Structure 1
C-alpha cells in the first residue's frame, strides 16, 4: 500500500473505516495492536477515565502510522482465532472496549469486544 492509499483510507469517517477494518481483517485473518518494549499493549483511557479501550488496526502499516513519533511503540499481530479465544474474554473481563481503527481526526468506532467478534464472524461468513 502506498502513502496515497494509506492517507485516503485514514481520511475516511469512523463508520467507513470500521467497514474497511472488517473487510481487511476478514481477508487477512489478523488484527494489529501496538505494544511497548515490555510487550504491554497500548490502552487508551478517556480524559475523565470513564472509558478505556484497546485501539486496533487492520494492518501493520496503519498501526505503524499511528505510532509515528513514539519511540516505544511497535505493531504486533494477533491472529483472529487468538483474538476470539483469548482477547475477547480478557477484554470483557477487564471492562475494556475496543477502539477500531483510529483515524487522522482522532475519531474511532468504539465497540464492545463481543460485538466486534460478532461483526467479524458475520464478515467471515459472507466471504
Structure 2
C-alpha cells in the first residue's frame, strides 16, 4: 500500500470502491463527472461488450486524477438532488449505465442509474 490516500483508495477492487463511493456521496451530497470545454459530459463505451456508461467519482480529486492525461476534461459537480431528479431519468432514457469510480487498475462497478439511486437512498435512510 502507498502512503498516498488517493492511491490507496484507487487500489481497492471495484466493490470496495463502490462502497467507498456510496459513503462519500451520501456524506457530501454530490457526485463528480468529467466535462469537456463545451460542457459535454464524458461517456465511455466499453470495447469488450459495447456497454455505454457515464463515469462518476466521489470527489473532484479522483475525477481530476482520472483525467490528468486527457487535456480538455475537467471535474464538474452534480448535486445529489439534481442527480436523482434529472440525471437518473436522462441516463435511463438514453440507455446509459453508470460506471462508478473508475481508476487504478481494478475492475469497474457498472450499474443502472435506478439501481445506483436506490443504493444511495437506502444508505441515506440510516
TM-score, normalisation: structure 2: 0.95
Q: Which runs of 5+ in 1 are unaligned?
A: none
1:118–1:75 Cα change, 3 Å: same
Partner of 1:29: 29
Is the 2:64–2:75 contact (alpha carbons within 8 Å) kept by the matching residues of 1? Answer: yes
Deviations 1:21-60 (A, max 9, x none): 0000000000000000000000000115631000000000
CA apart distance, 1:91: 0.2
CA apart distance, 1:106: 5.1
Is the 1:14–1:103 contact (alpha carbons within 8 Å) kept by the matching residues of 2? Answer: no
More divergent stretch after superposition (117-126 vs 45-54): 45-54
Q: Which runs of 5+ in 2 are unaligned?
A: none
CA apart distance, 1:69: 1.0
The structure 1 segments of at least 4 consecutive aligned residues displaced by more than 2 Å after TM superposition are none
Is the 2:44–2:54 contact (alpha carbons within 8 Å) kept by the matching residues of 1? Answer: yes
* CA distance in structure 2 between the aligned counterparts of 1:51 and 1:21, rounded to whole angstroms: 21
TM-score, normalisation: structure 1: 0.94
Is the 1:46–1:52 contact (alpha carbons within 8 Å) kept by the matching residues of 2? Answer: yes
More divergent stretch after superposition (85-94 vs 39-48): 39-48
Question: Across the two proteins, how many residue pairs are aligned to each other?
Answer: 124
1:49–1:108 Cα change, 3 Å: closer
Aligned CA-pair RMSD: 1.2
More divergent stretch after superposition (96-105 vs 48-57): 48-57
